Amino acid sequence: MQRMDRSLPHRRYNPLTDEWILVSPQRATRPWLGAVEKLAQARRPEYDPACYLCPGNTRANGAVNPPYTGVYVFDNDFPALLETPRAAPGVEESSAQSPILRSQLETGVCRVICFSPRHDLTLAELPVAQIRAVVDAWAAQCEELGARDDIAYIQLFENKGEMMGASNPHPHGQLWATRHIPTEIAKETRGQLNYLLGRRNCDGQPAGLPLLLDYLALERTAGERIIFENAHFVCLVPFWAIWPFETMILPKRHVRRIVELTEPERDALADALKRLTTRYDNLFEVAFPYTMGVHQAPYDGEPHEEWQMHLHFYPPLLRSATVRKFMVGYELLAQPQRDLTPEQAAERLRGLSEARFA
Ligand code: H2U
Ligand code: ZN
């Protein structure tokens, strides 16, 4: 098959979300040239008496954290969702009297997940065994919440760094679990389902592998967007990446949900998280900001054979510790755009050390 000239402006298709992105490699932005400013970063203390996530401290609403020594999960004191909201008498829980003005009551659970008692460390600096404990906590939360019939989806995520809106440098993530399937998950479910249904055998039964496993095979053959792999996971820059150094971590076998990961796979996921976040920190020698999260099949009682779980990392930085990409203008109004190609981004990330800068 003829490959198009990827040094010219082109658009790339994201089959997960059924969206296009614009790539403009001819623009002279060559992020690896020119001055790279370094940020002076103050070393944080191991324990901060003013931190609402440190062990033993009092949170904003008066609750006291236990003297925890590993991963610590608690219900968010300022949740975006309520478990049992009461509609006012005579008011419907959902309304679609008009196809234009539709609303539904949303219920769910919001929790905060402290990755470590250590205030001064980030995921990249935690020992792999502690990251493994985070993976176990994620799976345990999904086991518990996924069994509930008022929960259809559990979004695990981490906002890291002030640039991404994290409120506290203490290493932590969150989960929001909802009665309805959120927008991005609905898109990815449709994308994966359409792919599987497009490959029926002569009996009309879906045949072949899920979208992301076929995609992974293509990537492993091409090699140019792969950053590294271990026994059970591959880390790559997606062909359709939007953010300059956006990446994805994918299991090598068909895994729909995080709860299905075996012990060795959980170890391998912890290893992949450690290696990727360390490379990120080394890119601009800074605690690299990002939003990351696990995408997995809904917990709505359906099998979702089309689904392959994966992790997305969306980092905002482009050129240095202080120069970020903004999704504004054309991107907000028309379609996302990037200058640095995904292949160039992968090459840079591949070239970095897995020992964190000192
Ligand atoms: P972010 O840093 O990603 O915003 O997460 C911190 C969360 O911690 C945030 O959702 C919650 C906030 O509501 N929080 C508490 O639950 N208790 C507190 O005492 C302060 C912050
Ligand atoms: Zn703290």
pTM equals: 0.94
**Cα–Cα distance for residue pair 29/70, rounded to 1 Å:** 43
What residues have a C-beta under 5 A from ligand 2, the ion? 48, 51, 53-54, 119, 170
- Is 172 considered catalytic here? yes
Tell me whether strands 310-314 and 247-251 are parallel, antiparallel or unpaired. Answer: antiparallel
> Are 35 and 318 within 8 A, CB to CB?
no
Decide: 60 in ligand 1 pocket, CB within 6 A. Answer: yes
Distance 150 CA to ligand 1 centre (A): 23
Instruction: Identify residue 295 by its one-letter amino acid code.
Output: H
Q: What is the pLDDT of residue 36?
A: 54
CA-nearest of 80, 256, 86 to 176 is 80
Residue 316: what pLDDT?
Answer: 95
Output the pLDDT for position 330: 95
Tell me if 78 CB under 6 Å of ligand 1: yes
Residues 357, 285: Cα–Cα separation, whole Å = 6
**Cβ–Cβ under 8 Å, residues 339 and 323:** no
Ligand 1 atom showing the smallest separation from residue 52 Cα? 19
Provide the pLDDT for residue 349. Answer: 98
- Residues 2-28: tens digit of each pLDDT: 678 888 999 999 999 999 999 999 885
Q: Write down the pLDDT at residue 34.
A: 46
Give 56 Cα–ligand 2 centroid separation in angstroms. 10
Distance 249 CA to ligand 2 centre (A): 28
Which amino acid residue places its CA nearest to atom 1 of ligand 1?
A: 166
Residue with the nearest Cα to atom 20 of ligand 1? 60
User: Contact 110/76 with Cβ under 8 angstroms?
Assistant: yes
Q: For residue 44, which ligand has an atom nearest its CA?
A: 2
Residue nearest to atom 15 of ligand 1 (CA): 77
Beta bridge partners of 64: 58
pLDDT in tens, the chain (358 residues): 567 888 899 999 999 999 999 999 988 555 544 445 566 677 899 999 999 999 999 999 999 999 999 999 999 999 999 998 665 666 666 776 788 999 999 999 999 999 999 999 999 999 999 999 999 999 999 999 999 999 999 999 999 998 888 889 999 999 999 999 999 999 999 999 999 999 888 787 767 899 999 999 999 999 999 999 999 999 999 999 999 999 999 999 999 999 999 999 999 999 999 999 999 999 999 999 999 999 999 999 999 999 999 999 999 999 999 999 999 999 999 999 999 999 999 999 999 999 999 8
In tens, the pLDDT along 248-291 reads 999 999 999 999 999 999 999 999 999 999 999 999 999 999 99
Q: Is the CB of 174 within 6 Å of ligand 1?
A: yes
Domains and CATH numbers, the chain: 44-87+100-350 (3.30.428.10)
Task: Please write down the long-range contacts of 36-39, taking CB distance under 8 Å and 24 or more positions apart.
Answer: 36/284, 36/319, 36/320, 36/321, 37/320, 37/321, 37/322, 37/323, 38/284, 38/285, 38/286, 38/320, 38/321, 39/286, 39/321, 39/322
Kindly state if the Cβ of 59 falls inside 6 Å of ligand 1: yes
